[in-house]
Chain A
Amino acid sequence: MDMHNLIHMANQIGSFFEAMPEQDEALKGIASHLQHFWEPRMRSQLLEYVDAENGKDIAPLVLSAIRAHRNMLVSQKQA
């Protein structure tokens, strides 16, 4: 999958949850959205990218969400 596009989409999700007054809620919201709407191969690729590139170009809030809730994003096949 086009990594640039995946990063763009993830950052868009972050832009929505950024407005949440409570950061914990925002982080969980981002992770939950990725978990509920992204197909496992998209999530796996995003996680691999975060590991390989230290999350370059991923918005800080989104990166925090991915790191804080990594378990939610791991494909159940891989878990």
Chain B
Amino acid sequence: MLEQLNEKDFGTPRRIAEQEVTLEIDGMQVTVAAGTSIMRAAAESGVNVPKLCATDSLEPFGSCRLCLVEIEGRKGYPASCTTQVERGMKVRTQTPKLQALRKGVMELYISDHPLDCLTCAANGNCELQDMAGVTGLREVRYGYDGENHIHSQKDESNPYFTYDPSKCIVCNRCVRACEETQGTYALTISGRGFESRVSPGQDQPFMDSECVSCGACVQACPTATLQEKTVIELGQAEHSVVTTCAYCGVGCSFKAEMKGSEVVRMVPDKNGQANEGHSCVKGRFAWGYATHKDRILKPMIRGKITDPWKEVSWDEALDYAAAEFRRIQKKYGRDSIGGIVSSRCTNEEGYLVQKLVRTAFGNNNVDTCARVCHSPTGYGLKQTLGESAGTQTFKSVEQSDVIMVIGANPTDAHPVFASRMKKRLLNGAKLIVIDPRHTDLVRSPHVRADFHLPLKPGTNVAMLSSIAHVIVTEGLLATDFIAQRCEDKAFQQWRDFVALPENSPEATQEITGVQAELVRGAARLYATGGNAAIYYGLGVTEHAQGSTAVMGIANLAMATGNIGREGVGVNPLRGQNNVQGSCDIGSFPHELPGYRHVSDSTTRHLFEQAWGVEIQPEPGLRIPNMFDAALDGSFMGMYCQGEDIVQSDPNTQHVSAALSAMECIVVQDIFMNETAMYAHVFLPGSSFLEKDGTFTNAERRISRVRKVMPPKAVYADWEVTVLLAQRMGYQMDYAHPSEIMDEIARLTPTFHGVSYEKLDQLGSIQWPCNDEAPLGTPTMHIDQFVRGKGKFIITKYVATDEKVTRKFPLILTTGRILSQYNVGAQTRRTENVRWHKQDILEIHPHDAEERGIRDGGWIGIHSRSGETVLRAKVSKRMQPGVVYTTFHFPESGANVITTENSDWATNCPEYKVTAVQVMPVLESSDWQKKYARFSKVQDDLLKNAGDGAGNKTSDIKIKAVAKSTA
């Protein structure tokens, strides 16, 4: 039954070698790459050697003794997993002697195994069961009465999986998965001989150990020893659908294992090119929000935000929204409304929202939440390299000799890529970390950065210029590369600029707070250490000089020739699942799909012909400009799809004042989020499980999102946009999202070759994909830059206006944690709250002691924007003078404190630098009290929502998939 669910397991990993080896297996000639195991060679030719401790995601281990084979001319019975093929070898995998040996091994295993197969959660999907069948086990000569582990206690501490020691065969697959796949080393085998058992940490329960719940061990387990609780509850799935995770920008491919339209479990797809079979705690386990009881499933409207919600039909809600938008445009002008689309939405949804704004609304007032994260990446890389995107595949890191991580914390925010990176580091690559905090990459039990440059927040540009200074003044430039590939005049200007004494590490030391020798060492390593790759995150972009820093990074890559091949490059780690895609498909107010400016008349005419309307030739409002215009009385209506601007954008009071000033806010979301509390129309959204589409991850990889269950509120999000456009008098005719992608491909040169059909064939595609690159483009800028010659740009450090003073002496910087995701709308509605149930403020012991702050105590955080109260965590991860918090819980008010300061080029907020003071307090802040009252009122208005027939929204229940996620 489960054959269709389980991929063929070749037993050991694929080897890549130029040399091939031909041998004979069971009389067949087999040719494989040198270094391949006999087990894999056999599997590739259709011969399945019995196995238990081997699986093709892990290096061979040779412990179970089931995969023994006979090799002509050799003594004994070597394990086929650990024995490599040799030319002319003659192997036999099935002989009476081998059969007897295997049966004997199985008897030993089974003598200490509960024979509860019919009631076991792994029944029908158990490798031990399979091997008992394959080896012809009919009896156990040792009986079942001897010493055994059958009554060992289960560990149920993890909310998502159980550990049942009675079913463990000590194959070590879980331990090896934790080491090789995840790189955490949380598991070991404790005890010896009969006492041997899997042990998290120091014989601790899973939840108390350093386990990060990635689930690699669960996936590797051949029995029910480590088993998802959903499988225990629901049983094995009957079909599966390959889809793409809706969390971070890694874009992991998953098989959604289903029973009808109910998800049983999410299993990372080993054919997924972004993740190659790995996952994190969010993607694998935290999907229960999709069926959470908080889902809003009926459209609602209200005249004022103080009115109760009224449940209405889709027709009425859409008619009301359209009429309101038209009324506002009539009163305030064409440009008085706009739209925001989340980077959590699919490419097709984003494309339709910007099309709606540019056609039915008749303006360019469309923006995406990429505005507040990676818009500087789009600007900076376009200016220097010619394309607003990262240059590599994730796999490229396997070819890196030096990895520089700037302003990113991938072990928390991009965990699956972090595992890949750690694997490379453990195999010898050098690591440079530029970050104010001591992140896990700086030093953890198995990873240690060769250089950590703990700079002060807000000084990235000074740091990058000083690294460039060392490269230029110490003669470390890639002169041939620069001469051939880059604009000469711009290079010379840049070279002269960075060589100025003011950019030396000794001079910038005072700005960055980092010792000059450390900077010099890191610069030399980056320039001379072989293939050097830069990975960066929001710690680079979310600054007043975010775009300048991105250009500084591109400068470094060009100066050292570290671009245009595997193992090198400039790699933005995108925050949300579809940040890259939302930018690609025209969600910015100044660009049409494919990063073409609206002032470009050729492009505009192309879209005008296709869409049958005139497109405005001037840029529209960006998200922060929309708020300013709302307060100014010139922007009065907004369509907001999937984005929670009230929680995620800076200076919450400013945002809420702006929304309060508007006359019609239409929110389309799966939950009543913070923004929806200011809305007049609520249109129920659909989760990633309920619709078709595509996401584009940080490597420009377009992957399919596939519907596994019908939309719970009738319509998929793209259909709602189509219906709203129709109500506003603009006809959109699509029968399926594939037709939307066809339109994107037709109108966008870098997408010309993309189609759902091709995505189904190839699994995923990295754009550009067109006639020149029909299979996509894994590595960009190979022979020349997209803009022709690379352009060095001068990056002068300008101190932020957000100064520390006696009144605000500390710098607050914000970020994410592994178990939660952005505004937390999804992860807060899962068992992930077991790891992180509130935002806390991390503070260095010195700063804490000076203020009488104790670990766990309440502290007030004041900034020029506002005040909030959080619990303190005293931590040496922080440097003195810097405090840190996450922003996953609305009641925390992290963005009450952050300011409206933003990147000079893109208006990306300066989340990473806010001057604050912190002090112990006894009660919540005024804002928090006001928020609690407002939320209570809004909650009551939602609970009292009705359809006029006495049915309240609060009575609407939807079935939860599992108790653990309800």
| A5: chain B residues within 8 A (beta carbon) | 628, 900
Separation of A57 and B53 alpha carbons in the complex (Å): 72
Are B628 and A39 interface neighbours, CB within 8 A?
no
Which of chain A's residues has its CB closest to B599's CB?
Answer: A36
| Least distance between A58 CB and chain B CB atoms (Å) | 15
B293 interface residue, CB < 8 Å from A?
A: no
| Least distance between B464 CB and chain A CB atoms (Å) | 14
Separation of A2 and B657 alpha carbons in the complex (Å): 14
| B620: chain A residues within 8 A (beta carbon) | 39
Among A15, A20, A33, A76, point to the contact of B794 (Cβ < 8 A): A20
* 8 Å CB interface, A31-79 against B: 33, 35-42, 75-76
| Least distance between A20 CB and chain B CB atoms (Å) | 7
Separation of A13 and B903 alpha carbons in the complex (Å): 9
B652 interface residue, CB < 8 Å from A?
A: no
Are B619 and A9 interface neighbours, CB within 8 A?
no
Are B904 and A12 interface neighbours, CB within 8 A?
yes
Are A39 and B905 interface neighbours, CB within 8 A?
no
Among A16, A35, A75, A76, point to the contact of B904 (Cβ < 8 A): A16
Are A39 and B618 interface neighbours, CB within 8 A?
yes
| A21: chain B residues within 8 A (beta carbon) | 493, 496-497, 794
| B906: chain A residues within 8 A (beta carbon) | 37
Separation of A76 and B547 alpha carbons in the complex (Å): 28
| B621: chain A residues within 8 A (beta carbon) | 39
Which of chain B's residues has its CB closest to A19's CB?
Answer: B796
Contact A18 to B796, CB < 8 A, known contacts A41-B634, A76-B617, A76-B618: yes
| B902: chain A residues within 8 A (beta carbon) | 9
Among A19, A36, A38, point to the contact of B597 (Cβ < 8 A): A36
| Least distance between B89 CB and chain A CB atoms (Å) | 65
Separation of A5 and B590 alpha carbons in the complex (Å): 20
In the complex, per-residue mask of B598-631: 1 if CB is within 8 Å of any chain A CB, else 0: 0100000000000000000111111001001101
| Least distance between B42 CB and chain A CB atoms (Å) | 61
Contact A39 to B625, CB < 8 A, known contacts A9-B907, A12-B544, A19-B796: yes
In the complex, per-residue mask of B364-403: 1 if CB is within 8 Å of any chain A CB, else 0: 1100000000000000000000000000000000000000
In the complex, per-residue mask of B566-593: 1 if CB is within 8 Å of any chain A CB, else 0: 0000000000000000000000011000
| B497: chain A residues within 8 A (beta carbon) | 19, 21
Which of chain B's residues has its CB closest to A15's CB?
Answer: B798
Which of chain A's residues has its CB closest to B794's CB?
Answer: A19
B694 interface residue, CB < 8 Å from A?
A: no
B548 interface residue, CB < 8 Å from A?
A: yes
B145 interface residue, CB < 8 Å from A?
A: no
B208 interface residue, CB < 8 Å from A?
A: no
| Least distance between B905 CB and chain A CB atoms (Å) | 7
B632 interface residue, CB < 8 Å from A?
A: yes
| B795: chain A residues within 8 A (beta carbon) | 19
| B634: chain A residues within 8 A (beta carbon) | 1, 41
Are A37 and B619 interface neighbours, CB within 8 A?
yes
B801 interface residue, CB < 8 Å from A?
A: yes
Which of A8, A16, A42 gathers the greatest number of chain B CB atoms within 10 Å?
Answer: A16
* 8 Å CB interface, B776-812 against A: 794-796, 798, 801
Are B590 and A9 interface neighbours, CB within 8 A?
no
Among B365, B493, B629, B905, point to the contact of A33 (Cβ < 8 A): B905
B319 interface residue, CB < 8 Å from A?
A: no
Separation of A21 and B496 alpha carbons in the complex (Å): 10
| Least distance between A48 CB and chain B CB atoms (Å) | 13
B335 interface residue, CB < 8 Å from A?
A: yes
| Least distance between B878 CB and chain A CB atoms (Å) | 28
| Least distance between A54 CB and chain B CB atoms (Å) | 23
Which of chain A's residues has its CB closest to B632's CB?
Answer: A1
Are A36 and B493 interface neighbours, CB within 8 A?
no
Are A39 and B904 interface neighbours, CB within 8 A?
no
Which of chain B's residues has its CB closest to A25's CB?
Answer: B493
Are B619 and A38 interface neighbours, CB within 8 A?
yes
Are A8 and B801 interface neighbours, CB within 8 A?
yes
Separation of A16 and B904 alpha carbons in the complex (Å): 8
| Least distance between A47 CB and chain B CB atoms (Å) | 14
Which of chain B's residues has its CB closest to A12's CB?
Answer: B904
Separation of A9 and B902 alpha carbons in the complex (Å): 8
Are B590 and A13 interface neighbours, CB within 8 A?
no
Separation of A20 and B794 alpha carbons in the complex (Å): 7
Are B631 and A2 interface neighbours, CB within 8 A?
yes
Are A13 and B904 interface neighbours, CB within 8 A?
yes
Which of chain A's residues has its CB closest to B335's CB?
Answer: A41
| B801: chain A residues within 8 A (beta carbon) | 8
Are B905 and A37 interface neighbours, CB within 8 A?
yes
| B548: chain A residues within 8 A (beta carbon) | 16
Contact A13 to B905, CB < 8 A, known contacts A21-B493, A37-B619, A39-B621: yes
- CB pairs A–B below 8 angstroms (26 shown): A1-B625, A1-B629, A1-B632, A2-B628, A2-B631, A5-B628, A9-B907, A13-B905, A15-B796, A15-B798, A16-B545, A16-B798, A19-B497, A20-B794, A33-B905, A36-B597, A36-B599, A37-B590, A37-B905, A38-B619, A39-B364, A39-B619, A39-B625, A39-B629, A75-B618, A76-B617
Supply 19 further A-B pairs (C-beta < 8 A) apart from A37-B906, A42-B625: A1-B632, A5-B628, A12-B904, A13-B904, A15-B796, A16-B796, A16-B904, A20-B794, A21-B794, A36-B590, A36-B599, A36-B619, A37-B622, A37-B905, A39-B335, A39-B619, A41-B335, A41-B629, A76-B617
